[in-house]
């Protein structure tokens, strides 16, 4: 039954059916006993429970629908100003996205917004209609052209995938017709939103910490708070906070900053810098406060002293700038602003990256994004929270991307570090490890031709850092020892390269790859995942988190969807199923990764899901695919991979 439920997902709340106890009134006992004999006790109990659950869902509908309708009628669609954004994905996920957002707002508050997103490859649309209601709840509809019930768009289950560009921001070079350019951009976004989408419109209500799916035809309220639909609600709640902050930013902010900035300083990017001003009422006095990047008028002297070198052709002023906070001193418009220097620099430690965003993503949370679009592609978002008493910002986390790596770090990785210290005093746990050495002598006297130590854990807690790294090194050495045993008495040349793959609050994941040459025989290569539970400080494996039958059932669900999309053939599905079942028990044994004659199954947890690689003899990959993380919803694997969003 449990295996079947993994595929059927939500069918009218069947997943919850096992929580109720079967019950028959006395005068129905005889007919109930006959029914048990005909269909079996298990099926009979499930039918009874399903009926009782549907009854409760109908009762909930009767209790809640009038309240919801009243809230919807009390808050009609606003006829205010319009805010628009382009949407696009920033990273190489299996699917890239583009689309548009439109919010209607009045008195600085958006209560209604729409989102339309289109996949580049699949061309499948997702559309959202959202309304913040008077009681603080969120009502929305979701429409998707994806017919695969278990699949969700990547941006719903992965963090920091989408970027948002204001439609009203047009670079003013003195020649462009700014208003005409804005009109063109607005019209393009409206076309995204106006395009029809196929697929059933699903209705939801997120209220008091619960999420209900509403079926008006069946007249049911289904509680899906613990189901994968909750990812949709979390994503949209995140949008409400972000839009609320972005609405405060406009070209008018330039005048305020110019009026109250410290003497002798200028706004980075000049008149085009208004999109890079972060605006929030930090001291709750009713006046907006500003975080901006300013540079001194004598910046040439400053950058000469720092001996800067720029291979990426940034403006010289960039290297002379720092972050400043303009904090209001009262609630009256004629009162002045306090000028607080937050940092002496805006240059990230990897100076190939450029500051591309300074913005509040929610009240009191400042986000700084750095990005480089040329190879190697990389991006980092730094988040700081505002301490009202100290009138300063402290780092609470970061998300770093490079190629196929995503590393998310929390406050405990950095300690209590303010913005000034972060940019003034680079420390090892701020950045990602990386190094390449040759001729590394091992304990047994043998040499590694080369060794890359990019897969290292960084944390302010040095004991924790050392413990996690010692487990990584232990696994690397185990693989080295297993390879030696595979070729006893033979001369080998080995090189070892390690790469980080994924890190969040619970998981530290990476991969070690070994390239070898056995003299007088052949060349080979192998790779092995290393997965660590960051909180317990112990190894973790996919085979330890799931039973083989459970994983095969998940594979069955995913592969059926993959075949529907044309990404897998039926013969390939059968062969992969056979090999997964055959190699499961050996998948996480170190000796399974040693030697080219070994066929092996590799199961690696990544940000997107579980990466599955099936190797044949002599180091040849036969199959490679990614089972998206949402297919593991409700399992222990999901607990390690689920997005960390707050409502």
**Pairwise CA distance, residues 366 & 395, whole Å:** 9
Q: Is the pLDDT of residue 68 over 70?
A: yes
Indicate the helix (H) or strand (E) that contains 289.
strand 289-296
46-50, 352-356, 618-622, range with greatest mean pLDDT: 352-356
Q: Write out pLDDT tens, residues 501-557.
A: 999 999 999 999 988 777 756 677 888 999 999 999 999 999 999 999 999 999 999
Q: Are 515 and 448 in contact (CB under 8 A)?
A: no
Looking at residues 336-357, what average pLDDT do you find?
90
Per-residue tokens: 401: 């991307």
Give the model's pLDDT for residue 26.
Answer: 40
% of the chain at pLDDT higher than 70: 83
Give the model's pLDDT for residue 355.
Answer: 93
State how beta strands 436-441 and 405-410 pair. Answer: unpaired
- Residue 492, sorted as left (phi over 0), alpha (psi -120 to 50) or beta, turns out to be beta
**What are the backbone dihedrals phi and psi of residue 134, each rounded to the nearest 5 degrees, phi first?**
-65, -25
If one compares 443 and 261, the residue with the highest pLDDT of the two is 261
Q: Write out pLDDT tens, residues 361-399.
A: 999 999 999 988 665 678 899 999 999 999 999 999 999
Looking at residues 243-253, what average pLDDT do you find?
93
Measured CA distances, 433 to 243, 456, 460 (Å): 35, 6, 14
Q: Is the pLDDT of residue 189 over 90?
A: yes
Residue corresponding to tokens 């972005």: 246
Q: Is the pLDDT of residue 476 over 60?
A: yes
Give the model's pLDDT for residue 27.
Answer: 46
- 3-state SS of 170-224 is CCCCCCCCHHHHHHHHHHHHHHHHHCCCCCCEEEEEEECCEEEEEECCCCEEEEC
Give the model's pLDDT for residue 5.
Answer: 36
Give the model's pLDDT for residue 161.
Answer: 87
Half-sphere exposure of 644 (CA within 13 A, CB side): 15
Q: Is the pLDDT of residue 32 over 60?
A: no
Residue corresponding to tokens 């992965």: 158
**Pairwise CA distance, residues 18 & 5, whole Å:** 11
How many residues would you count in the chain?
A: 647
Q: Which residues pair with 222 in a beta bridge?
A: 213
Looking at residues 126-149, what average pLDDT do you find?
94
Q: Is the pLDDT of residue 7 over 60?
A: no
**Pairwise CA distance, residues 419 & 323, whole Å:** 9
Q: Write out pLDDT tens, residues 542-582.
A: 999 999 999 999 999 999 999 998 889 999 999 999 999 99
Question: What contacts 316, CB < 8 A, 6 or more positions away?
Answer: 299, 300, 303
Half-sphere exposure of 130 (CA within 13 A, CB side): 29
Give the model's pLDDT for residue 58.
Answer: 86
Name the pLDDT band for 306 (thresholds 50, 70, 90): low
Per-residue tokens: 149: 């019930």
**Pairwise CA distance, residues 114 & 96, whole Å:** 20
Packing angle of the helix pair 41-74, 29-39 (nearest 10 deg): 110
Residue corresponding to tokens 């969700």: 152
Per-residue tokens: 535: 């909180």
Per-residue tokens: 373: 């679009």
């Amino acid at each position: 039954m449990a295996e079947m439920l993994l595929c059927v997902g939500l069918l009218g709340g069947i997943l919850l059916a096992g929580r109720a106890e079967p019950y028959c009134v006395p005068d129905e006992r005889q007919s109930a006993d006959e029914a048990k004999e005909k269909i079996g006790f298990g099926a009979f109990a499930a039918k009874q429970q399903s009926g009782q659950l549907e009854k409760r869902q109908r009762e909930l509908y009767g209790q809640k629908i009038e309240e919801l309708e009243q809230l919807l009628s009390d808050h009609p669609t606003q006829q205010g100003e319009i805010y628009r954004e382009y949407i696009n994905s920033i990273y190489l996920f299996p699917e890239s996205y583009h689309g548009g957002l439109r919010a209607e707002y009045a008195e600085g508050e958006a209560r209604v917004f729409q989102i339309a997103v289109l996949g580049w490859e699949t061309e499948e649309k997702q559309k959202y209609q959202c309304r913040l209601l008077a009681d603080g709840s969120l009502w929305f509809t979701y429409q998707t052209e994806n017919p695969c019930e278990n699949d969700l768009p990547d941006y719903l289950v992965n963090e920091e995938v989408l970027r948002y560009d204001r439609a009203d921001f047009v670079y003013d070079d003195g020649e462009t017709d700014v208003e005409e350019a804005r009109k063109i951009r607005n019209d393009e976004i409206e076309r995204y939103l106006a395009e029809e989408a196929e697929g059933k419109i699903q209705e939801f209500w997120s209220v008091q910490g619960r999420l209900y799916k509403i079926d008006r035809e069946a007249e049911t309220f289904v509680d899906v708070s613990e189901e994968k639909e909750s990812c949709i609600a979390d994503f949209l709640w995140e949008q409400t906070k972000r839009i609320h902050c972005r609405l405060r930013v406009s070209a008018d902010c330039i005048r305020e900053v110019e009026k109250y900035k410290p003497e002798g300083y200028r706004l980075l990017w000049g008149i085009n810098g208004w999109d890079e001003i972060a605006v929030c009422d930090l001291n709750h006095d009713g006046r907006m406060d500003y975080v901006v990047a300013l540079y001194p008028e004598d910046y040439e002297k400053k950058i000469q002293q720092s001996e800067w070198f720029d291979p990426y052709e940034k403006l010289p002023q960039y290297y002379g700038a720092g972050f400043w906070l303009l904090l209001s001193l009262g609630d009256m418009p004629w009162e002045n602003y306090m000028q607080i220097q937050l940092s002496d620099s805006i240059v990230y430690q990897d100076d190939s990256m450029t500051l591309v965003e300074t913005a509040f993503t929610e009240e009191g949370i400042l986000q700084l994004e750095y990005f480089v679009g040329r190879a190697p592609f990389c991006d980092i978002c730094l988040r700081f929270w505002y301490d009202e008493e100290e009138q300063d910002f402290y780092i609470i986390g970061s998300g770093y991307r490079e190629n196929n790596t995503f590393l998310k770090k929390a406050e405990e990785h950095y300690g209590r570090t303010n913005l000034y210290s972060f940019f003034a005093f680079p420390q090892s746990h701020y950045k990602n490890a990386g190094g390449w050495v040759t001729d590394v002598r091992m304990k047994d006297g043998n040499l590694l031709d080369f060794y890359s130590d990019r897969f290292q854990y960084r944390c302010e807690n040095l004991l924790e850092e050392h413990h996690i790294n010692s487990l990584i090194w232990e696994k690397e050495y185990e693989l080295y020892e297993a390879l030696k045993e595979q070729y006893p008495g033979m001369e080998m040349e080995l090189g070892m390269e390690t790469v980080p793959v994924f890190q969040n609050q619970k998981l530290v994941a990476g991969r070690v790859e070994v390239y070898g040459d056995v003299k007088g025989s052949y060349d080979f290569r192998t790779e092995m995942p290393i997965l660590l539970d960051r909180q317990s400080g112990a190894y973790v494996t996919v085979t330890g988190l799931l039973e083989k039958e459970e994983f095969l059932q998940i594979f069955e669900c995913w592969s059926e969807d993959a075949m529907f999309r044309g990404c897998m053939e039926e013969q390939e599905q059968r062969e992969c199923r056979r090999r997964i079942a055959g190699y499961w028990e050996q998948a996480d044994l170190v000796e399974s990764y040693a030697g080219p004659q070994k066929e092996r199954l590799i199961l690696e947890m990544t940000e997107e899901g579980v990466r599955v690689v099936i190797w044949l003899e002599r180091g040849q990959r036969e199959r490679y695919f990614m089972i998206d993380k949402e297919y593991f919803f409700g399992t222990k694997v999901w607990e390690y991979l689920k997005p960390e969003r707050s409502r």
